[in-house]
Amino acid sequence: MAAENKSSAGWNTRSWLNLRTAIQALAFIGFLALFLNAVPLLMRLDPLAVLANFISGRSLPPFAFIALAMTLLALIFGRAWCGWLCPMGTLLEWISFNKCRTKKITIPDGWRSVKYVILIAIILAAVFSNLTLMIFDPLTIMVRTFATAIWPGLDLAVNAAESLLNNVPVFQAPLARFDNALRPLLLPTTQLSYPEGWIFAVVLAAIILMNLVAERFWCRCLCPLGAFYGLAGKISLIRRRVNESCIKCKLCEDTCPTGTIRRDKDCSSDPGECIVCLKCMDSCPCSTSDFGPMFSPAKFNSYDPVRRQLFLGLGAGAVLALLFRLGLPSKQRNPYAIRPPGAGEQDMTAKCIRCGECIKACPTGAIQPSQMDSGPEQLWTPVIVPRIGFCQYSCNACGSTCPVSAIPALSLAEKKSTIIGRAFIDRDRCLPWAQNTPCIVCEEMCPVPRKAILLHTVRTKREDGGTMLLQLPTVQAGRCIGCGLCEYKCPVEGESAIRVTA
Amino acid sequence: MAEFTRRDFLKYALAGVGAVLAARFITACSSPQTAQNNPPMPAPVTPATEENDTSAVKYPDLAVVRGGEPEALARKAVELLGGIRRFVKKGDNVIIKPNIGPAMRTYEYAATTNPWLVAAVARLCLEAGAGRVRVMDQPFSGTAESGFLNSGIREEVEKAGGEIELMSRFKYASTDIPLGRDIKKWNIYEDILKADVLINIPIAKQHGSALLTLGMKNLMGAVQAAQLFHLNLHQRIADLASRVRPTLTILDAIRILTANGPTGGDLRDVKKLDTVIAGCDIVAVDSYATSLFGLRPDDIPHIKIAAEMGLGSNDLYKLNIREVTLGS
Ligand code: SF4
Ligand code: SF4
């Protein structure tokens, strides 16, 4: 992004700006494509996720070199990630509410230090093998929200529209074609439900609404990934420069989306805040503002992570990590928190970065973000909730999608014999046992080759006084893998009469 | 930076009102609810064809063909029943309903209908000039896409020129079952009810609660919330068979699953019989098929109930059965 003279024919500052807009749009489409195909590349691009996972899990996650490359790029281009690639940043730029902000609010500079506090807290908690705070990472927020709220919500809306349009004969054929050709690529084919999806929708909406206070409020004040890149930006090679010909016209101050250009400071900016959007370069009437190599580190600001922020962050991280430690030793774990195949409870705290890629990958929607009931330190880690979806017998999608191997990548054969839980029949709710009514849906569904549900046939009285044969199910413990298909299909209303526990 | 003006507000408000009106309009255009709930019953197949003298022709009730490749078995069976043109007319909208029970098994495990058999029937229909041949089912332990893929049915059917349909949620309609004794209404897939020709291609396998899953049990793939059938399974299977009436049932007994059904997964439970049993009378097909498992029609309650309800015949002695072994 070297400086270019505005008047030079062909390539000028406007071209740079257009290039950035195009790359942003492409990167966002790329994000959607990765999301839809459950390719775990996005989180591997995230140096914060990889670093935190490395510290916390005490081993390098796969493909860590990608994150290293991103860090090296940041040492050259600073926070360009935020202005050019980050899907959250792009979203915040597209929904900037610039038109709605009528009067200019200057937010106190001190607020900018919050993001550094969060960053330091994440790293310190990771030292204590706890990654709960990764819920603040912008990429985890994006994937989680798209997986549990936006994607299934879109599906609901499309389905409602389809049911409506299907009443009109001319639409029927195209609708069928859409459902068979496009739906499998763009939308879930089975209805997914995420009872807690609204929480994520609210969180993302709140982040977007903060734009009403100031443009890219999230990027300025809160984003820990932005803080990480910001620190790299302080010493990055290419930075914004202002030369003496500046007339302090303040045009750049008004266009800067992060508000880091300050007239009272000679129209200079902080490379830790600058997202290299190049808007200042374009707005400058005298071509004073440009981007080029600078060699001495940038000077520190009051909000930069000096002592106070450092201590705050360390304190917050330590307190949180210790608090969570006190919480729940694994013996008292929630028995209904069934983990995806092969994932250990310890991995869930220490390795899972809470990205939700596995949630998206699971074709039956079985994987749900756990709430507080497995302990606060497990917040939004994956659990299988069989009443909502079952673990498909020939599927190992979650393991091969998890970007940090918190869920091991099992081969299909390994996965089929991996025990994720055990089914127990509640004889007080089971229709044949409790109500003398034939059923055994569980036996029918059980997918293991030698069925894990055994049937005992007894002769019992019928309602009308005659006799009948009734089949009573029991679980053959050694065969059950805990896939939860029986719990999913059990026709008893409300709580299933057969339940899988970890 | 421009403000959000009154003009903007009016613009958005108008768009909103427009959308609501459009939705209203569409609902108003739709056919009245009652008509939709009761698509006509399929007409019974008449034994008459143009080229045959109607009075003289007498087709067998059942065709049982053994010993051959799936395609040959299918062709011979249909030929014995009078040829595909007896059932499929030019331009007909044909739906084929195989059994793709568990989404994860390949055909060897005999838990899903043989893909070559399904493809052969699709090809036959297209040869008879069918306008459209669709194959559909909803597997129960996985997504439909994976079921079509793993069973091999997608590949073979598409090679034959047929279409695979992933059954859409919005196409199920609450449907009256006038002859039903236990269930009088259920959500059934509309297209299956409206097809000109419905060809049912079940696979014969053992089943815990239904004892065997054959032709009638296979129709459960056309409904929503099938697990609720189990509360009174045999009666409800028969009730459904009174409403969803296939033109032709071609039972796949090329490989049958004798235990651990309907999901299977162990080749020791699979028996290779290379047999196809076809007929227009679904009860008769199911009745004959019980013999593959060493049972009698009366051993399977839903067959007995269906016969009592007059849906077909379970009296193997009175049926006209043509048995043929290929290559002999
Ligand atoms: S292996 Fe099971 S839990 Fe994991 S994605 Fe597949 S179905 Fe879901
Ligand atoms: S377990 Fe799931 S949420 Fe956690 S890191 Fe892996 S894919 Fe992301």
Specify the pLDDT at position B142: 80
Which protein residues are within 6 Å of ligand 2, measured from CB? A 352-358, 382, 401-402, 404, 406-407
Chain A positions touching B263 (Cβ under 8 A) are: 444-447, 451
Chain B positions touching A438 (Cβ under 8 A) are: 209, 230-233
Does the beta carbon of A176 lie under 8 angstroms from any beta carbon of chain B?
yes
Q: Where are the alpha helices (DSSP H) in A284-389?
A: 307-327, 345-350, 357-361
In angstroms, rounded to a whole number, what is the distance separating the alpha carbons of residues A263 and B64?
92
Q: What number of H helices and E strands is found in chain B? A: 11, 12
Chain B interface mutation, best of A394, A440, A448, highest count of B Cβ atoms under 10 Å: A394
Specify the pLDDT at position B29: 57
In angstroms, rounded to a whole number, what is the distance separating the alpha carbons of residues A125 and A133?
8
pLDDT band at A179 (very low <50, low <70, confident <90, very high): confident
Query: Model pTM?
Result: 0.85
Give A471 to chain B, closest Cα distance, Å: 8
Smallest Cβ–Cβ distance between A99 and the set B3, B146, B165 belongs to B3
A vs B: CB pairs below 8 A: 124
Backbone CA torsion sign across A35, A41, A43, A45: negative
pLDDT tens figures, A390-408: 999 989 999 999 999 999 9
Specify the pLDDT at position A282: 82
pLDDT tens figures, B126-143: 999 999 999 999 888 788
Chain B interface mutation, best of A387, A390, A445, highest count of B Cβ atoms under 10 Å: A445
pLDDT tens figures, B155-176: 999 999 999 999 988 899 999 9
Residue A168 has pLDDT above 90, yes or no: no
Per-window interface: A 476-495 vs B, CB < 8 A: 485, 489-491
Rounded to the nearest angstrom, the distance between the alpha carbon of A482 and the centre of ligand 2 is 20
pLDDT band at B53 (very low <50, low <70, confident <90, very high): very low
Ligand lying closest to the C-alpha of residue A398: 1
State the Cα torsion B186-B191-B193-B196 to the nearest 10°. Answer: 180
Averaged pLDDT, B213-221: 95
Averaged pLDDT, A226-239: 90
pLDDT band at B42 (very low <50, low <70, confident <90, very high): very low
Specify the pLDDT at position A324: 65
* Least reliable range by pLDDT among A13-22, A60-69, A318-327, B16-25: A318-327
Q: What is the ipTM of this complex?
A: 0.76
Tokens of A391: 């673990």
In angstroms, rounded to a whole number, what is the distance separating the alpha carbons of residues B196 and B210?
29
Residue B212 has pLDDT above 90, yes or no: yes
Averaged pLDDT, A195-221: 93
Chain B interface mutation, best of A180, A187, A437, A440, highest count of B Cβ atoms under 10 Å: A180
pLDDT tens figures, B264-273: 888 999 999 9
- Interfacial residues of B (vs A; Cβ cutoff 8 Å): 1-4, 23, 26-27, 29-31, 102-104, 140-146, 150, 163-166, 168-171, 207-209, 227-228, 230-233, 260, 262-266
Tokens of B151: 């069973």
- Whether B207 sits inside 8 A of A166 (CB atoms) is no
pLDDT tens figures, B73-114: 999 999 999 999 999 999 999 999 999 988 888 888 999 999
pLDDT tens figures, B194-205: 999 999 999 999
Averaged pLDDT, B224-232: 89
Tokens of A400: 């091969």
Identify each DSSP E strand in chain B by its residue range. Answer: 62-66, 93-98, 132-136, 163-165, 172-176, 185-189, 197-201, 203-207, 211-213, 248-257, 270-279, 321-325
Residue A180 has pLDDT above 90, yes or no: no
Chain B positions touching A189 (Cβ under 8 A) are: 143-145, 166
Q: What number of H helices and E strands is found in chain A? A: 24, 8
pLDDT tens figures, A125-136: 888 888 988 999
DSSP helix/strand/coil, B274: strand
In angstroms, rounded to a whole number, what is the distance separating the alpha carbons of residues B321 and A230?
83
Residue A329 has pLDDT above 70, yes or no: no
pLDDT tens figures, A255-300: 888 888 877 777 778 888 899 888 888 888 777 777 878 777 777 7
Averaged pLDDT, A432-438: 91
CA B42-B44-B46 angle, to 5 degrees, is 140
Residue B46 has pLDDT above 60, yes or no: no
Smallest Cβ–Cβ distance between A99 and the set B1, B103, B164 belongs to B1
Specify the pLDDT at position B57: 61
Among residues B298, B210, B313, B201, the alpha carbon closest in space to that of B254 is found at B201
| CB burial of residue B54 (10 Å; 0-12, 13-18, 19+) | exposed
Pocket perturbation via mutation, ligand 1, pick of A192, A359, A381, A396 by most ligand atoms within 8 A of CB: A396
Pocket perturbation via mutation, ligand 2, pick of A355, A380, A405 by most ligand atoms within 8 A of CB: A355
